[in-house]
Structure 1
């Protein structure tokens, strides 16, 4: 069992490793050695009523594509997205190239303010559509994070303009059906990016943080979230965003280490030379977090912000 995720198990057998991912009654197994993989599967069959489905090509609505010659692996939800478009009668919709219409400014002022408008919006499956979009965003579509984060704020009280933006995301789905997360067999150096706007939330003047982490050429973790407090400057908003990204970075590195990935990639001299900066980066992250704690805890006579 790995640290950080109790549904992922690792086993080292000699110079080989096995990774087992468990989700309810579905299991994915990966290994760098076919014989070891066969032995582990045989043991599972002897202990549990299990069926071997062969090489994984589809799991939890996510399609798995491989190009072994170029050492590429892709994850997409093309079939799922098509079913969502059909569900909302958007199969033949017009195409757009951005999730949110450029210049969009959503707020509570756009929510229905009459009984007639409220009754009409109750007949709109806003929450259902949002849930379908969120499923894609969580699994394979980091490009939807910001749009979904904004649209989810109006789930309980949405107006015509909010629904219009939901349909715009569906049109974006149609345009980007072939988009996928693509991973290669190298670049095993975790990279993270973070950013923040400043008080773009018109209702509460709060900022939005965002980060994304890349490993082996593809995104493995991403987030776009409204900050919990009002910041007094864009710099403060950026600090909060950097702090959230730093915490995610620390967790990801501990998780990857628990997978024993570090042991195997450290044998690659090129990767080892590229990893020399990690210790210094950890020190920087700790320093940033400590400074942020000081900024938010020193009250100077005023109530502390928690």
Structure 2
């Protein structure tokens, strides 16, 4: 074994320490992506995907000829989401078309690169020693226009620092927005309990500490807190009802949050510029130049 001292670079991740805090980014990796496609001098844009974008498109759209190039780019973008959760939704959508990408998808991917070129020095900032676990859960009902499945998303913060996030299509088609949100709560609960148990093993968390999950759908919260089955929930898979068990067993706490403050919303759909930038900031994504300026 060899002591390499303080970690600064590993697998494309750049780690900088500033006044006892950490800043993690992938600037050099992003620059190499742009250079590979000769896009380092393209004009940057403010959001990775316009809020009016509709994916998928008509089947008669012209196919993109270089499938290997498309797949290579999407693979690189997936790795970039390790420190760039603001890219999670658009990369999720574009990765659904790796089998037969259209020219339209390639153009969308290039727009993502233009957004990256304007945010090269952005990364995740970690500060403080608070170990409070708070998660935000959200879904976009029938958001996938290809198969009408909903998008589940969560963001989990440890002491105000983003440690886990997800943007993924649900396995089954929900029949209501309540069901879609409830399924997303299930996914979020699984992840936050796993993180809690990891912290318990590290002896920096106690059973008395209660992780909080925040959601903006009142119907889903009512269903999670109400142990009585009714006509509207009979069809929901039993596996999703374990959220109730965890609430009753005081393993998690469920709270309401307004849609405008539910940061998981960023991972479910394209947003307007001002909303997107607010959510991005709330995730802890900042520019390195801003950090140095402080």
When the two structures are superposed, what TM-score results if normalisation uses the length of structure 1? Answer: 0.67
Q: Distance in 1 between matches of 2:212 and 2:25?
A: 36
Q: Distance in 1 between matches of 2:59 and 2:120?
A: 30
CA-CA distance at 1:279 after TM superposition: 7.8
Higher relative contact order (CA 8 A, sep 6+): 2
Are the equivalent residues in 2 in contact too, given 1:182–1:217 (CA < 8 A)?
A: no
Larger Rg: 1
- Equivalent position of 1:130 in the other structure: 74
Q: Distance in 2 between matches of 1:194 and 1:235?
A: 13
- Equivalent position of 2:176 in the other structure: 233
Task: Give the 5 Å matches for 1:3-82.
Answer: 50-68=1-19, 71-82=20-31
Structure 2 unaligned residues grouped into runs of 5+: 214-220, 239-294
State the Cα RMSD in Å: 2.7
1:192 is aligned, of 115, 132, 135, to 135
Q: Distance in 2 between matches of 1:239 and 1:226?
A: 14
- Equivalent position of 1:94 in the other structure: 43
Q: 1:137-196, CA deviations, whole angstroms, 9 ceiling, x for partnerless residues?
A: 1x2111111111111111101111111111111111111111111111233211100111
Are the equivalent residues in 2 in contact too, given 1:111–1:158 (CA < 8 A)?
A: no
- Equivalent position of 2:287 in the other structure: none
1:205 is aligned, of 133, 144, 148, to 148
Do residues 215 (structure 1) and 164 (structure 2) align? no
- Equivalent position of 1:32 in the other structure: none
Q: Distance in 1 between matches of 2:184 and 2:37?
A: 35
Are the equivalent residues in 1 in contact too, given 2:27–2:121 (CA < 8 A)?
A: yes
Do residues 146 (structure 1) and 82 (structure 2) align? no
- Equivalent position of 2:236 in the other structure: 296
Decide whether aligned partners of structure 1 residues 276 and 259 sit closer, same or farther in structure 2, where only a CA change above 3 A counts.
Answer: closer
Decide whether aligned partners of structure 1 residues 94 and 231 sit closer, same or farther in structure 2, where only a CA change above 3 A counts.
Answer: same
Q: Distance in 2 between matches of 1:175 and 1:98?
A: 9
Q: 3-state DSSP class of the match of 1:225?
A: strand
Structure 1 unaligned residues grouped into runs of 5+: 1-49, 264-274, 299-306
Q: Distance in 2 between matches of 1:278 and 1:250?
A: 10
CA-CA distance at 1:295 after TM superposition: 4.7
Are the equivalent residues in 2 in contact too, given 1:101–1:168 (CA < 8 A)?
A: no
Q: 3-state DSSP class of the match of 1:219?
A: strand
1:278 is aligned, of 199, 210, 222, to 210
Do residues 103 (structure 1) and 46 (structure 2) align? no
- Equivalent position of 2:250 in the other structure: none
Q: 1:225-261, CA deviations, whole angstroms, 9 ceiling, x for partnerless residues?
A: 0111111111111111111101111111011211222
CA-CA distance at 1:276 after TM superposition: 5.5
Q: Distance in 1 between matches of 2:27 and 2:212?
A: 41
When the two structures are superposed, what TM-score results if normalisation uses the length of structure 2? Answer: 0.70
Decide whether aligned partners of structure 1 residues 203 and 168 sit closer, same or farther in structure 2, where only a CA change above 3 A counts.
Answer: same
Q: Distance in 2 between matches of 1:66 and 1:279?
A: 28
Aligned length: 226
Q: 3-state DSSP class of the match of 2:93?
A: helix
